[in-house]
Amino acid sequence: MTGRNTADIPASTIERLPQYLRCLLELQSMGVPLVKSDRLAGLCGSNAAQVRKDFSYLGELGTRGIGYEVSALIEHISELLGVKERRRVAIVGYGKLGSALHGYAGFPERGFEVVALFDVDPAKVGCTFDGIRVFHVDEAPRVVNELGIDIAIIATPARVAQLAADAVVEGGVKAILNLAPTRLVVPEEVDVRQVCLSTDLQILSFRIAQQEGSR
């Protein structure tokens, strides 16, 4: 199996790789050794041509007429996504959303380890939940640095999200997943991914309205 420069892989293809990985892991758990593009596309809600095009950017992965070796493809995509190594994660904001994220079983399965929690509530700071301590946000620069945290998940109210981001950036995080409905300003070397549930719901509402209007 030969690879290519990851800089040559389109962003749209990178966006689909986690979904391919999830489906491949499901196939592996079912004991499926080989998969063809049409079956994988059906599992991922895509089409066979798109799967083949995406995988063409990754190197010589499959064999015509036979398909892709599931375990080898998992290994290759995991390496490209950087999830073969454990990534240390902090959750900033330990309210309902933050605590729900902390309890998500999919993190360790995908190579992510939550190692620190941050909040400003005196009732939570200093407490331990499932073996992970809640620190005050003011301690984030020190704790992030000492624990070698790579990624911070911002789950705070919008009004304090920038302050939270500033604190973890000072500690040296490389990436932020922002769940607060506000734009963050960070240094160029820090990657930010914005997830806005209300925006996604509005888009879904628009699509429903389109469907209703076409009837």
Judge whether residue 4 has pLDDT over 60: no
> pLDDT by residue (tens digit) across 7-26?
678 888 988 998 898 899 88
Contact 90, 117 (CB under 8 A): yes
Percent of the chain past pLDDT 70, that is, above it, reads: 94
Least confident of 17-21, 82-86, 180-184, 187-191: 82-86
Q: Is the pLDDT of residue 126 over 90?
A: yes
Decide yes or no: CATH 3.40.50.720 for domain 87-199.
yes
Q: What is the pLDDT of residue 7?
A: 65
73, 24 Cβ separation under 8 angstroms? yes
| pLDDT tens per residue across span 75-104 | 888 888 877 678 899 999 999 999 999 988
Q: Which of 158, 157, 107 is nearest to 130 (CA)?
A: 107
> 89 pairs with which residues across the strands?
114, 151
Question: Where do the CATH 1.10.10.10 domains begin and end in the chain?
Answer: 6-81
What's the pLDDT at 162?
97
CA distances from 176 to 95, 120, 151, 155 (A): 18, 19, 6, 11
Q: What is the pLDDT of residue 206?
A: 82
**CATH 3.40.50.720 in the chain, residue ranges:** 87-199
The pLDDT value given to residue 213: 74
Top-ranked range on mean pLDDT: pick from 9-18, 58-67, 156-165: 156-165
Among the residue ranges 79-93, 94-108, 156-170, 173-187, the one predicted with the least confidence is 79-93
- Contact between 141 and 166 under an 8 Å Cβ cutoff? The reply is no
Joined together, the tokens standing for residue 48 give: 């066979």
> What is the CATH topology of the domain spanning 6-81?
Arc Repressor Mutant, subunit A (1.10.10)
Rounded mean pLDDT, 164-186? 95
User: What is the structure's pLDDT at 3?
Assistant: 45
The whole-chain average pLDDT of the chain stands at: 88
